[in-house]
Amino acid sequence: MLCPAGVVRARHRDRRLGPRTPRGYGFDEGRIAEGNSFASLRLVERVLEETAGRFALPDLGLRMAAQQDLHVLGPLAIAMENSRTIGEAVECASRYLFVYSPALSLEETDDPLGSPGVVGLR
């Protein structure tokens, strides 16, 4: 499950995406706007894939990502911004990211390039 608010925001930014997104898939835009709506990851994936195909936008996901910032995470973003260090912000995100979507996770790993003093995030 995840919050499909990004799908609604994408439709408002680009009217070519049409009325089928998201109401035609059963999303309640009012509940999404309130932040009280969740949808299965598979449904959101289907909406994005079909929309990208219908409008020949193979980079739809990248376009949507370019329009978003940390605040797409709602209250989690506020908690992260109020962390004293980047490490605390990452720890906060890894602890509570599941609230936004159980499909998302964040973990600290060794730097993939092996640089000393550098950590990786996955």
pLDDT tens per residue, range 28-72: 667 666 666 677 778 878 888 888 888 888 998 888 888 788 887
For the chain, give the secondary structure using H, E and C.
CECCHHHHHHHHHCHHHCCCCCHHHCCCHHHHHHCCCCECHHHHHHHHHHHHHHCCCCCHHHHHHHCCCHHHHCHHHHHHHCCCCHHHHHHHHHHHHHHHCCCCCCCEEECCCCCCCCEEEC
Q: What is the per-residue pLDDT for 62?
A: 87
Which has the higher per-residue pLDDT, 95 or 99?
95
pLDDT over threshold 60, residue 79: yes
The top-scoring range by mean pLDDT among 4-8, 67-71, 105-109 is 105-109
Q: What is the per-residue pLDDT for 92?
A: 94
- Percent of the chain with pLDDT strictly greater than 70: 72
Q: Provide the token pair at 17.
A: 């995406």
Q: Provide the token pair at 36.
A: 């009280």
